[in-house]
Each structure stands twice: as structure tokens, then as C-alpha cells.
């Protein structure tokens, strides 16, 4: 039923005064366009000059009120209060004899329109929310990927908890370069949040971003302390590498580089990263330690923190074995709780203000970074970040099943854009190069398949801006078991490698071996890729279409010679 703000009560009165026989027909049609059946009584009465107009009007008002009340039962909150006001007004009209057909019609029509508009909003709200949720699920491809909101949220929280150490480790490293600790904490949270949310919304992948650990060490100890470059100028070099990223992405060169990597090496990179992650976890847990004679050795298993990590490893393994979807997150939280109970969590929150970011924000020196001697630094930031990202993307993509039927990654351009934008934002905010985090694999193992996982991680980094000291309560011994188990799950990709084919097996083996032993995804990928190109060359498989493979191999060799395998 459609209602208009007022109906033609004046026309009805004119018809009644003139005593026209067709008054009901003309006035009734006007009333029906505005009011429910009850008001037609007014038209009928106005069409008959002998009837009691006021009484008929009162009946019309009461009948109309009943319709309003029935509609109002489905209107909530404010609209229901509005309805009570309309009810009182309707009774007042009835008590006063409901005089003034024209003004009455306008009032009633207006009242009905307000109430029905509220009713339409009340009905439309759940429909709108459901429609929005459906659109989001379709945008993130929930059905195709078998995703659910609960699983994606848990996966995002798992990724955040697993990589939250960066909130304090990155500032600790950059503090050695003379950068203010509190400012870098805030900058780390900001750029991690921006990069992860961009990756989730734009590229729709469960990959989180944050300042890279290897790159922050290069920034602090090689560039600033080793070369004597001011940290402001070093930030300028990071900014320039981000600009170069954007240019290479826009020109399609980064996509070509990624597509030039042989599909045979994808599984090797994923497995190598798995060993890399596991090695980091074993080291953080104290299960393995450095040894000058044998490189590594078994740590002190009687150490309390190592024992706590072993407990977390056993707990998380049991949860995974029983098929618990939130096993990683529950394992981390359970281990943290155990550490608190036994007094193994050393946590002393210090003073912290979000506004401290102003000490580093916008302090980069781009002009100084353009000096010819610093272009090498820009190249290193660009190179390492590019191939760290490529390796992470391949590793996480293989585990999450993100590759299409042809072996390519959809929306690759958006992935690279999100990474470049995060690097630019990081340099402006005051931190080293931002890169994709291999800890994202923990979220994938927890069930994350869409960009919602990365968005949740980004939102938690925003929350960490205001509660950063609380995040420090999670000990390294609680996150180390998650890294070890993620590595064990990623090593399964070795089954995809054709080990009977030497031209594939040798480069794959070198990739798997050198990623953890050089402690660098980029270096391991460089060695494996170069071996693959050399194998093709000696087998006489040199083709014009493979020009980029050999060009990249030449760059890798030059890098390893000139930079000493950094």
C-alpha cells in the first residue's frame, strides 16, 4: 500500500457542500490514495450531506489508528515511541470531534508516512546487513575457498599473535641505529596495520605485512652503524626503494620476475621457507643454539624457558592432532598462561604514547639518499624485499592453495602494489622496509584462506597501537612452537618435486637447503634460480623466450659476488 503526505480533504468537503451524487466516488479515490480502509468512511460520509460527518470522521480516525497500531507492532525503538505520540494525537482528534477535514487529512497522511517509513527502515535493516554480508562473502570468495567468518577471524588472530614480537623486536633493533624506541613502536604498528589491511582488501590474500627482520638489521648495523649514514638518510633510501617498487609494479616488471620463476621451484621455496621458519622457532625456543665447532648444537633442555616452549610444542601438537581449528592460537595462549602461572613471563610495561611517532614521522632525507654512493643501499633494499616477498608469496600461496590451474597467482599486481604502498608508508612513519611475513603461514594453517585474515591481523595491529605494552606479555617461548609446527606442515611440498629429474631436483635441493642455512629467503631463491638457469644452459635448452631467466641469473650471480651473499 502506498501513502502520500496528504490527501484531498478540501475536495471532499466541496463535494459534500454541493451535494453531488458522485461525491463518494471522487473523494473516496483521493482518500484511498493516502489512507487505509478506515478513512474511506470519511469519504462516504462527506459524500452524503445528511450524515453525521464528525461521527464518521471519528470512526475513520479510530479505524486508521488500529491499522497504525498493527503496523507499529513491527517497528522498534524510536519508531515505537513515535507511534505512542501518534496514538495520543488520534485519540485527541476523536475526542474533539475530528473537525476540519482538510487539516485532518494532512495530519493523518503525514502520521502514516512517518510510521511506515520507520517500518520500512526497520524491515530493511536486517535485509541490508544480510545483503552486505553476502556481498563481502562473494567478494572474498568464501564459497570457492570454503571459508567462514569465524575461521578467518581466528586465523587473523593467530597470525597477529605469531608475529606480534615485531612490535618490540623491530624497535629494539632500530634503537641501535639511534632511532627513538617509542616512535618506532608506533610506526611499526601503523605500517603493519596499513600493509595488512591493504593486502586483505585489495589483493584479498591472507598475507600480513610488517617491517622485515633481515632488512631492519641491514638498516641498523650495515647502513647506519657500519657506513655511518644518518638514520634519516637511510629512511630516504627505504622510501626510494618503495618508489622503485611502485614503478616496477606499474610497468609490469615485478610480475614478469615472479612469472619467470619456474613452477618447479615453487614447491622448493615453500619447503625451504618451512625449514627456515622451523629453524627460527627452534632457536627462539632454545632447543638449538650456536656452536663454533659444529655451527649448531642442542640447547639446554633443562632451562625453564626451553621447557615452557617444549610444553607449548606438545600442547599445540595435540590440538592439531585432534583437528582443533584454532590449535595455533590456543597453543600460544595456553603456553603464555602456563608461563604466567610458573613465573616465567617477565613483563614490565613501560611508559608509551602513540603521539611519540612524531619523533620519526616525516624525518626521512630523500635528497641525501640520492647521493651516488647510497644507490647501492637502495638497490639492496629493493632486491632483498622483492625476492623476500616473492618467496613468501610462493610459500604461503602454495600452502593456502592460492595458485590457479595454470600455476599463476591471481591479482598479483594488487599484491605487489600493497607491498610497495606499505614500504612507502613505513619510511614516512619511521621504520625500515615493510615486507610480507612468512608467519602468515600460521594463519593459513589455522584455516585462513581469504583477505579477511589479513584485515583482522591489521585491525589487531591498530589495537596494539593503544595497548602495545600488553602485547609484550606473550613470551617468545609461546610463539616458538607455532613456528616449528608451521615449518613441519610446509615441508610437505617436497612431495611435489620431481626428484628423478636432475635438472629440477638439483636447483630444488639447493633452494631448500640454502634458505635456512643462509638465513635469507632472497639468497636461497637466488642460488636455486641460478642453478636452474645453469642446468638449462648446459642441457642446451636456451630459448629466446627464457631471456628473463638468464638475465635474472646474471643479476643474482653479480649480487652474490659483489655483495658477498648478503
Each residue of 196-206: b (16+ CB within 10 Å) or e?
bbbbbbbbbbb
Are 148 and 142 within 8 A, CB to CB? yes
Q: What is the mean pLDDT of residues 292-307?
A: 91
C-alpha cell at 312: 607449548
* Residue 423 CA, distance from chain mean position: 16
Strand runs labelled E in 130-250: 209-211
* Residues 6+ away with beta carbon under 8 Å from 275: 487, 491, 512, 515, 516
Q: List, for residues 123-141, the tens digit of each pLDDT value.
A: 555 557 778 888 899 999 8
If we measure between CA atoms, which residue out of 289, 280, 290, 342 comes closest to residue 311?
A: 342
Residue 182 has, within 13 A of its CA and on its CB side, a CA count of 13
440 within 8 A of 209, measured Cβ to Cβ: no
With a cut of 70, say whether residue 348 has pLDDT above it.
no
447 to 158, 240, 436, 535: CA distances (angstroms): 10, 36, 18, 38
Contact 456, 447 (CB under 8 A): no
Q: What is the pLDDT of residue 328?
A: 79
At residue 252, the pLDDT reads: 79
386-427: pLDDT as tens digits: 766 666 777 777 666 767 766 677 887 888 889 889 999 999
Q: Which residue has the higher pLDDT, 150 or 255?
A: 150
Q: DSSP string spanning 234-295?
A: HHHHHHHHHHHHHHHHHTTHHHHHHHHS-HHHHHHHHHHHHHHHHHHHHHHHTSEEEETTTE
**Residue 354 per-residue DSSP state:** G
Indicate the range of 97-106, 275-284, 398-407 predicted with least confidence.
97-106
More confidently predicted of 494 and 57 = 494
Q: Provide the pLDDT for residue 45.
A: 40
pLDDT over threshold 50, residue 32: no
Check whether 459 has a pLDDT greater than 80. Answer: yes
pLDDT at 99 over 80: no
Min mean pLDDT across 59-63, 279-283, 363-367 is at: 59-63
Contact 47, 28 (CB under 8 A): yes
211 forms beta bridges with 434
Q: What are the pLDDT digits (tens) for 138-173? A: 999 898 888 999 999 999 998 998 888 788 778 877
Report the distance separating Cα 197 and Cα 456, nearest Å: 8
Q: Which of 522, 432, 448, 450 shows the shortest CA–CA distance to 161?
A: 448
**Domain edges within the chain:** 9-137, 140-562
pLDDT at 6 over 50: no
Instruction: Please report the pLDDT score of residue 41 as a whole number.
Output: 39
**pLDDT above 70 (res 111):** no
Per-residue pLDDT, 545: 67
Q: What is the pLDDT of residue 315?
A: 94
Instruction: State the Cα angle at 368 between 366 and 373, rounded to 5°.
Output: 120
**309 vs 5, higher pLDDT:** 309
State the pTM of this model.
0.61
- pLDDT for res 47: 43
Question: How far is it, in rounded angstroms, from Cα 115 to Cα 309?
Answer: 62
Per-residue pLDDT band at 46 (split at 50, 70, 90): very low
Amino acid at each position: 500500500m502506498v501513502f502520500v503526505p496528504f490527501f484531498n480533504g478540501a475536495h471532499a468537503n466541496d463535494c459534500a457542500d454541493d451535494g453531488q451524487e458522485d461525491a463518494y466516488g471522487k473523494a473516496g479515490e483521493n482518500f484511498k490514495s493516502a489512507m487505509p480502509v478506515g478513512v474511506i468512511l470519511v469519504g462516504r460520509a462527506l459524500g452524503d450531506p445528511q450524515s453525521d460527518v464528525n461521527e464518521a470522521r471519528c470512526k475513520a480516525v479510530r479505524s486508521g489508528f488500529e491499522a497504525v497500531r498493527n503496523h507499529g507492532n513491527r517497528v522498534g525503538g524510536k519508531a515505537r515511541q513515535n507511534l505512542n505520540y501518534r496514538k495520543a494525537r488520534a485519540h485527541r482528534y476523536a475526542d474533539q470531534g475530528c473537525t476540519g477535514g482538510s487539516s485532518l487529512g494532512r495530519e493523518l497522511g503525514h502520521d502514516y508516512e512517518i510510521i511506515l517509513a520507520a517500518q520500512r527502515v526497520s524491515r530493511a535493516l536486517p535485509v541490508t546487513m544480510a545483503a552486505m554480508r553476502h556481498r563481502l562473502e562473494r567478494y572474498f570468495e568464501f564459497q570457492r575457498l570454503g571459508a567462514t567468518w569465524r575461521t578467518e577471524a581466528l586465523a587473523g588472530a593467530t597470525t597477529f599473535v605469531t608475529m606480534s614480537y615485531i612490535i618490540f623486536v623491530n624497535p629494539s633493533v632500530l634503537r641501535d641505529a639511534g632511532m627513538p624506541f617509542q616512535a618506532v613502536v608506533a610506526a611499526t604498528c601503523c605500517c603493519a596495520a596499513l600493509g595488512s589491511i591493504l593486502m586483505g582488501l585489495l589483493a584479498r590474500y591472507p598475507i600480513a605485512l610488517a617491517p622485515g627482520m633481515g632488512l631492519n638489521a641491514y638498516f641498523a648495523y650495515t647502513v647506519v652503524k657500519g657506513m655511518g649514514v644518518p638514520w634519516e638518510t637511510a629512511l630516504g633510501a627505504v622510501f626510494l626503494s618503495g618508489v622503485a617498487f611502485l614503478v616496477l609494479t606499474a610497468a609490469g616488471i615485478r610480475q614478469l620476475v615472479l612469472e619467470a620463476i619456474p613452477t618447479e621451484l615453487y614447491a622448493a621455496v615453500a619447503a625451504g621457507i618451512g625449514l627456515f621458519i622451523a629453524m627460527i622457532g627452534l632457536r627462539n625456543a632454545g632447543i638449538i643454539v650456536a656452536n663454533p665447532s659444529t655451527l649448531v648444537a642442542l640447547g639446554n633442555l633443562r632451562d625453564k624457558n626451553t621447557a615452557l616452549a617444549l610444553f607449548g610444542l606438545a600442547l599445540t601438537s595435540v590440538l592439531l592432532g585432534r583437528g582443533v581449528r584454532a590449535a595455533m592460537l590456543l597453543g600460544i595462549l595456553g603456553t603464555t598462561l602456563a608461563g604466567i602461572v610458573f613465573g616465567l613471563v617477565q613483563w614490565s610495561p613501560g611508559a608509551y604514547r602513540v603521539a611519540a611517532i612524531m619523533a620519526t614521522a616525516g624525518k626521512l632525507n630523500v635528497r641525501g639518499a640520492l647521493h651516488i654512493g647510497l644507490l647501492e643501499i637502495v638497490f639492496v633494499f629493493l632486491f632483498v624485499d622483492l625476492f623476500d616477498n616473492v618467496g613468501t608469496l610462493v610459500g604461503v600461496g602454495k600452502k593456502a592453495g592460492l595458485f590457479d590451474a595454470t600455476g599463476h597467482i591471481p591479482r598479483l599486481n594488487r599484491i605487489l602494489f600493497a607491498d610497495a604502498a606499505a614500504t612507502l608508508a613505513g619510511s614516512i612513519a619511521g621504520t625500515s622496509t615493510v615486507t610480507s611475513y612468512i608467519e602468515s603461514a600460521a594463519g593459513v594453517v589455522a584455516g585462513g584462506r581469504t583477505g579477511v585474515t589479513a584485515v583482522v591481523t591489521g585491525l589487531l595491529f591498530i589495537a596494539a597501537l593503544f595497548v602495545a605494552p600488553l602485547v609484550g606479555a606473550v613470551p617468545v617461548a609461546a610463539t616458538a612452537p607455532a613456528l616449528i609446527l608451521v615449518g613441519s606442515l610446509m615441508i610437505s611440498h617436497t612431495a611435489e618435486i620431481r626428484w628423478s629429474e636432475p635438472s629440477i631436483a638439483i636447483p630444488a635441493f639447493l633452494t631448500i637447503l640454502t634458505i635456512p642455512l643462509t638465513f635469507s629467503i632472497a639468497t636461497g631463491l637466488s642460488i636455486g634460480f641460478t642453478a636452474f638457469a645453469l642446468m638449462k644452459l648446459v642441457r642446451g635448452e636456451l630459448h629466446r623466450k627464457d631471456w628473463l631467466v638468464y638475465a635474472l641469473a646474471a643479476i643474482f650471480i653479480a649480487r652474490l659476488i659483489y655483495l658477498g651473499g648478503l
